[in-house]
Amino acid sequence: MRQTLFAQHFGKPSNASLAYYLTAMHGYASARKALSEMTPDQVIEEVKKSNLRGRGGAGFPTGMKWGFIPKQSEKQKYLVCNADESEPGTCKDRQILTYTPHLLIEGLLIGSYAIGCKHAYVYIRGEYTHEAKVFQKAVDEAYEKGFLGKNIFGSPYSLDITLHRGAGAYICGEETALLNSLEGKRGEPRVKPPFPAQSGAFGGPTAVNNVESIANVPFIISMGGEPFAKLGKLDKSGGTRLISLSGHVKKPGVYEIQAGELTLRQIIDDLGGGILNDRKLKAVIPGGSSAPVLTAEEVDVVYDIEPLMKIGTMMGSAAIMVVSEDADLVKLLLRITKFYAHESCGQCTPCREGCQWMESLLHKIVHGHGSTDDLNLLVDVAQNIGGKTLCALGDAAAGPVISFVKKFRPEFEEYIKGAKHHA
């Protein structure tokens, strides 16, 4: 029997209430335990033992990230929750914000205590209007009960949480662009170093963590780091993973699995009910639109960070996009590339110029004016973007182009030969 932490609480709007959280989920018991029985260092140690890795895309160990925050700094420290969730195909954090907002608040409370933060921020994407209202209501409930504010649970510790709404820019999902936006500046990535742990929000040491990462922390404190780690089936990844499954599957949705428990094929067939209209599988994008594509022959891979890296792709935000045999992959790649060209902040020349260039070359191919030279140039441009930009948006745009052309080149050549009907 699969053990889940989140999924059983999703689906009913009334579950967002403090009353539900207190009765059904032992709400705020972990925070009480942390504040009354544990030192900040002990909390960090427990999170390290849990093998909790960032759920936003990079997969960096959460406890290690918190450990980077300098203890002796005289500057104010910040914990910032990245609730921007703008990677195409990803919708899991939305479930936490909608149905278990108090779980996120409790995670913020424990995490802030661990790093010595007195003011935490939640940066939520502009399009999440409903989710922002639900979360703000939960924050207000927590203040009313004394779970936020001054002297929480009668301890010397105090914390304020501010919800900050973005304005719909994909780039603000990148942590330093998010911090710039939070400060009221243009949302574009910063030069690193200094890293946020040294100088982040408002110049203070800052930890930036994804919604799902922070929402796992109450479970870690209640069950202990080692039992949490054992929920994962592989050595390096603890806990469960929320997966956004979309595309040509019979049962799209958000699912929860134990880390490293299933292969990609099992997720598609067992959880997703197989391919829509009983068609054949053609391709899978395994980690949001920026992850290099996999062919139907490559899906017998364990769905976790290292196994996917080994075959040249990534788990990213755990957003699986399934593509059936009758889909047009050339048009799909054009759509993905158009998105990145539109969302590039323009700060780095390779990304600003390269994304536009890739879009125009693909546009040319799709509309019947492309040549083999254009296809080769497309790959060349993509290879000259990767690793040459301040943030990962350039890599995110280049990865799909390189992998689509490498694995499905005949489809692009059909357009060039005029064998396909041009849109």
pLDDT in tens, 312-361: 999 999 999 999 999 999 999 999 999 999 999 999 999 999 999 999 99
Cβ atoms of 320 and 275 closer than 8 Å: no
Question: Mean per-residue pLDDT for 284-294?
Answer: 96
CA distance 10 to 147: 23
Paired tokens of 27 = 């709400």
The CA-atom distances, in angstroms, between 179 and each of 91, 109, 174, 188, 368 are 22, 20, 9, 9, 43
- CA pair distance 245, 92, nearest whole angstrom: 9
The confidence score (pLDDT) of residue 423 equals 53
pLDDT value of position 419:
67
Q: Which domains does the chain have, with CATH numbers?
A: 7-231 (3.40.50.11540), 241-324 (3.10.20.600), 329-417 (1.20.1440.230)
Supply the pLDDT for residue 355: 97
Please tell me the predicted confidence (pLDDT) of residue 421. Answer: 59
pLDDT of residue 12: 96
pLDDT band at 422 (very low <50, low <70, confident <90, very high): low
Pairing of strands 253-258, 240-247: antiparallel
| SS3 call for 229 | helix
- Provide CB contacts within 8 A for 130, sequence distance 6+: 98
Residues 217-274 pLDDT 10s: 999 999 999 999 999 998 889 999 999 999 999 999 999 999 999 999 999 999 999 9
Cβ pair 225, 49 in contact under 8 A: yes
Q: What is the pTM of this model?
A: 0.96
